[in-house]
Amino acid sequence: MAFAKTLGELRKSKYRNRPVKDEMRANLVRKLRAGERLFPGIVGYDETVVPQIINAILSRHNIILLGLRGQAKSRIIRQLTDMLDEAIPAIAGSEINDDPSHPISAYGRQMIEAHADDTPINWIERDARFVEKLATPDVTIADIIGDVDPIKAAKGGHLLSDELTIHYGLLPRANRGIFAINELPDLAGKIQVGLFNIMQEGDVQIKGYPVRLPLDVMLVFSANPEDYTARGKIITPLKDRIGTEIMTHYPTDIQLGVEITKQEAWTVREGIKGSLLIPDFIRELIEQIAFEARDDQRIDKRSGVSQRLPITVTESVISNAERRSLLTEEQKIVPRISDIYAAIPSMTGKMELEYEGEQIGANKIAKDLIKRAAGEIFEGYFVGIDFVETVRWFDQGNNLRLADTASAEECMNLLEAVPELLETALIPFDFKRSDDALTVSACEFVLEGLYAENKISRNEEGGYTAATKAKKDRRGMIYDDLTETGRYS
């Protein structure tokens, strides 16, 4: 495509400018008719969030995405640029992307007056038409709208009231594009008023001087639902001008979560000598930890538990398994339950605790989450299987510790002594006993499942022993453990 370089060439090409919301609507209609995937990499929103975004764009609405952290709000907002044209023309040198056929700034109008059809044209690509700002309490009206620049006034010999003395902020520079503000409630009230004026009247006041700026902008916001309420920090007129509120959410089931984590976690690593294989039950257990955390009363619901938790835990689990392979020189890298316990530092920073949780401690809560998650996944794989002989072996005073640095061969030698375990642990899986690494991972999964069902115990060193007391409710494990250590006795 040959791009016009002057206003005259642009007019001859019969280029027709469209308002940005009409442009996005037209491109969305084309994509829908062509059957294109609208938000690649966004999983679990096809029946919920995506249809609402489509409706908002078709309606030419400004949008706010309401959701807790780690729900892909920022990624969705950034992908809205795909709805823009590949490039649009603007008057060269214009700070606010003036439309050559209808400039709104004094600079743009003066350029047309001075050069007419010879006015130089620049073409702005879609990525350059996206402006994003994180709202923080220190953001000023100058950052968003603009300010008078005394140096411009002095150099150009202009009065301070002249529009040519303005240094434009982020919002005017997003003219004919998308302007996104993350965490809108953190924006000061006077700046929200400025946004409202732009949306409603198309004008602002800068240092007391009224400036007419009929900007053509698609406004997109994000916020936490807890802050975006009638009691929150959003001025009512601004809230009333946002056309569509869309609620995002965490994955609704384990398999969706696993799919997201598979997509996002860094698993393809250079320098790994052997092959990496993550069993499905390990992936599901890691994902279940996040589900358990979101349902835990000791963890702050208002902050949420981000999808980054299973992603970073997966990466840490792989790293611990990789560390073991470097120490043992094994060629096959298969994560185990002990690797998940080693990844606890990747969990604790992802949880905001309530008062009760703070008293217990993030480390103990993380261990409890692993236990509960293991119980849920274990029940799905081994329903109806009791492992009676295995439990009896522990009840007879035997114990077993599979260190996270022990090779698969060493672990197999220890597992041989446990009756029933090796044979029964492989029943739900399609790998053979001769595959040491996978077999050890499956057996440790079974042991953790029995621990979750309170049929055996697990000590602080990671060893499995006979259950010391009947714990009928596995969700009470934290209290029992604290009693045993004497903290609440």
Question: How high is the pLDDT of residue 155?
Answer: 58
pLDDT over 70 for what percent of the chain? 88
Question: How high is the pLDDT of residue 158?
Answer: 55
The chain-wide mean pLDDT, for the chain, equals 87
Lowest mean pLDDT among 8-22, 282-296, 306-320: 8-22
Average pLDDT for residues 317-346, to the nearest whole number?
94
The residue written with tokens 């609620």 in the block is 247
Q: Is the pLDDT assigned to residue 153 strictly greater than 60?
A: no
Over residues 234-265, the pLDDT tens digits come to: 888 888 889 999 999 999 999 999 999 999 99
Question: How high is the pLDDT of residue 471?
Answer: 47
Question: How high is the pLDDT of residue 302?
Answer: 83
- Sorting pLDDT into bands at 50, 70 and 90, what band is 142? confident
Contact between 242 and 64 (Cβ < 8 Å): yes
Contact between 445 and 386 (Cβ < 8 Å): no
Name the H helices within 103-211: 106-115, 141-144, 150-156, 170-173, 189-200
Question: How high is the pLDDT of residue 486?
Answer: 41
Question: How high is the pLDDT of residue 105?
Answer: 85
- Sorting pLDDT into bands at 50, 70 and 90, what band is 269? confident
Average pLDDT for residues 203-227, to the nearest whole number?
79
3-state class of 205 per DSSP? strand
- Sorting pLDDT into bands at 50, 70 and 90, what band is 157? low
Question: How high is the pLDDT of residue 483?
Answer: 40
Smallest CA-to-CA distance from 418 within 361, 470, 456, 382 is with 456
Average pLDDT for residues 379-402, to the nearest whole number?
94
Between residues 168 and 150, which one has the greater pLDDT?
168
Classify residue 13 by its DSSP letter. T
- Return the bridge partners of 125, or none: 87
Over residues 38-55, the pLDDT tens digits come to: 999 999 999 999 999 999
- Sorting pLDDT into bands at 50, 70 and 90, what band is 147? confident
- Sorting pLDDT into bands at 50, 70 and 90, what band is 202? low
Element counts in the chain: helices (H) and strands (E):
22, 16
Question: How high is the pLDDT of residue 467?
Answer: 87
Q: Is the pLDDT assigned to residue 214 strictly greater than 90?
A: no
Average pLDDT for residues 145-150, to the nearest whole number?
69
- Return the bridge partners of 168, or none: 146
Question: How high is the pLDDT of residue 14?
Answer: 87
- Sorting pLDDT into bands at 50, 70 and 90, what band is 489? very low
Question: How high is the pLDDT of residue 148?
Answer: 64
- Sorting pLDDT into bands at 50, 70 and 90, what band is 325? very high
Q: Is the pLDDT assigned to residue 322 strictly greater than 80?
A: yes
Question: How high is the pLDDT of residue 383?
Answer: 92
Over residues 349-381, the pLDDT tens digits come to: 999 999 989 999 999 999 999 999 999 999 999
Average pLDDT for residues 326-334, to the nearest whole number?
91
335-345 core/surface letters (b: 16 or more CB in 10 A; e: else): bbbbbbbbbbe
Over residues 182-200, the pLDDT tens digits come to: 988 888 887 888 787 777 7
Average pLDDT for residues 1-7, to the nearest whole number?
82
Contact between 437 and 424 (Cβ < 8 Å): no
Contact between 166 and 147 (Cβ < 8 Å): yes
Question: How high is the pLDDT of residue 399?
Answer: 94
How far apart are the C-alpha atoms of 374 and 362, rounded to whole Å? 18
How far apart are the C-alpha atoms of 209 and 82, rounded to whole Å? 37
How far apart are the C-alpha atoms of 416 and 400, rounded to whole Å? 11
- Sorting pLDDT into bands at 50, 70 and 90, what band is 208? low
Question: How high is the pLDDT of residue 3?
Answer: 86
- Catalogue all structural domains in the chain, each as residue range(s) with its CATH number: 7-247 (3.40.50.300), 255-485 (no CATH)
